[in-house]
């Protein structure tokens, strides 16, 4: 793993670097969070964390400002995640640097993020016009219909995360293969460093069981006072549904509200997934 910053920059007032500074990247090991929620080593879980950056800029060799939309895909089995403020500071450190092409920028970012998190990161850069055209070409037919949980009543209001709220029953053999998809925009947790709220839309798809909607919504709302990083919250939800409801298949996506030009989108699945399975744009973005 790369030699990154010695202190977590979150909650500390720091100026943006004036020159290329990969050392500001701050890795946070995944293992302690997984150990704290009792994640079993044999729990089958695949996925990735997709970060979308909307404030990436650098200079051409002639000194002309360049801008791009970037996606960073971190594998869920990487030893560490990257603290989000440190990533923002790192991207800002490129603002005054000159590069021949966007490919050079992408390769540099890929190398630095991979070194920091201890695993191969995929980096995709696109011009804003290309991104705008992609969004306009997407049709609603590409989006799987999901039932909103948010109109259901809560079983009860709790102030701590409570997996026992989850209620489910096995389906008949004939119904077992049907995939249900539900979504909630009511999720809130809190940053473990600043205690500021983090807002997310949660999409959950599953087969093999019927999960009571009120119980699932109540469980998601029990995170309202929980302090946890985005990735830890997603894995805690995945683990709880896997163990309490025992679905045949499970997919959990959390699309977080953009802050500082970055949005974090966490995907965990009982089956292997790829970037093509991401939710291209949610209401939070």
Query: Any residues with CB less than 8 A from the CB of 138 and at least 6 apart, and which?
Result: 280, 281
Contact 20, 97 (CB under 8 A): yes
Q: Answer yes or no: are the C-beta atoms of 237 and 175 closer than 8 Å.
A: no
Query: Is the confidence at residue 194, as pLDDT, over 60?
Result: yes
* Residue 254, both tokens: 């959390």
- Whether residue 27 contacts residue 117, with contact meaning beta carbons closer than 8 Å, is answered with yes
What pLDDT score was predicted for residue 136? 65
Q: Which two tokens stand for residue 66?
A: 């360049």
Global pTM reads: 0.81
Cα–Cα distance, 158 to 222 (Å, whole number): 6
Task: Output the DSSP codes for 164-214.
Answer: GG--EEEPPTTTTTPPEEEEEEEEEEE-TTT--EEEEEEEEEEESEEE-HH
In this structure, of 6-15, 72-81, 103-112, 208-217, the range with the lowest mean pLDDT score is 6-15
Each residue's pLDDT tens digit, 24-58: 999 999 999 999 999 998 999 999 999 999 889 99
Select which of 49, 112, 117, 198 is catalytic: 198
In this predicted structure, the answer to whether residue 209 has a pLDDT above a threshold of 60 is yes
Domains and CATH numbers, the chain: 22-137 (3.30.1130.10), 146-260 (3.30.1130.10)
Active site residue 245: no
Whose tokens are 């997919």? That residue is: 251
Catalytic residue check, 191? yes
Q: What is the dihedral of CA 148, 150, 152, 153, to 10 degrees?
A: 170
Q: Distance between CA atoms of 264 and 232, rounded to whole angstroms?
A: 12
Catalytic position from the list 150, 162, 185, 191 = 191
Give the tens place of pLDDT for each residue, 90-132.
999 999 999 999 999 999 999 999 999 999 999 999 988 787 7
């Amino acid at each position: 793993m790369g030699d990154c910053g010695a202190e977590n920059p979150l909650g500390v007032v720091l100026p943006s670097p004036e020159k290329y500074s990969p050392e500001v990247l701050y890795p946070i090991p995944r293992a302690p969070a997984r150990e704290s929620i009792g994640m079993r080593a044999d729990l089958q879980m695949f996925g990735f964390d997709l970060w979308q950056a909307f404030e990436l800029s650098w200079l051409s060799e002639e000194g002309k400002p360049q801008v791009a939309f970037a996606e960073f895909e971190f594998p869920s089995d990487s030893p560490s995640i990257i603290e989000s403020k440190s990533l923002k500071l790192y991207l800002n450190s490129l603002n005054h640097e000159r590069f021949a092409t966007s490919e050079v920028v992408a390769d540099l970012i890929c190398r630095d993020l991979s070194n920091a998190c201890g695993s191969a990161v995929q980096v995709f850069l696109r011009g804003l016009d290309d991104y705008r055209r992609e969004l306009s070409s997407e049709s609603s037919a590409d989006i799987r219909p999901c039932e909103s949980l948010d109109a259901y009543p809560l079983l009860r209001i709790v102030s701590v995360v409570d997996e026992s709220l989850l209620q489910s029953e096995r389906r008949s053999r004939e119904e077992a293969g049907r995939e249900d998809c539900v979504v909630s925009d009511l999720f809130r947790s809190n940053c473990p460093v600043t205690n500021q709220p983090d807002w997310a839309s949660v999409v959950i798809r599953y087969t093999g069981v019927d999960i009571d909607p009120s119980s699932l919504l109540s469980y998601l709302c029990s995170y309202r006072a929980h302090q946890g990083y985005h990735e830890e919250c997603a894995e805690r939800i995945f683990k709880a549904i896997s163990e309490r409801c025992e679905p045949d298949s499970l997919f959990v996506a959390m699309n977080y509200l953009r802050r500082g030009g970055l949005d974090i989108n966490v995907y965990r699945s009982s089956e292997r997934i790829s970037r093509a399975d991401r939710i291209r744009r949610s209401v939070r973005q």
